[in-house]
Amino acid sequence: MGLLSFLGFGGNKVKDALRRGAIVIDVRTPQEFDQGKVPESINIPVDKITANSERIKGMNRPVVFCCASGARSSNAATMMKQKGLKEVYNGGSWYDVLKILKSL
């Protein structure tokens, strides 16, 4: 098991989800989001994920969460799994998700 897998980042699963049209939700603060982001990503701060859970489920697409390091996105993914979302992934940092998208 690689280090990223141990930390909860599923690189190949994230890549596959992105290939299939996953929505990228960045859970950083709006200020952080404005300083750099994945194109076409949506900003929903981690403390607003639960309040937006029905909206997220209603997107009917796989969801890849990202943040600055992977900690907040891990929390968001866990919250949405608890809300019944099946295809949810912790993409780690927004920059890592951006690199994956550029490699597709």
Q: Catalytic pick from 14, 38, 49, 67?
A: 67
CA 2 vs CA 7, 11, 22, 102, 103: distances in Å:
9, 10, 24, 22, 20
User: For 59, phi and psi rounded to 5 degrees?
Assistant: -70, -20
The answer to whether 66 is a known catalytic residue is no
Give the distance from CA 34 to its chain's centroid: 17
| Positions marked catalytic | 67
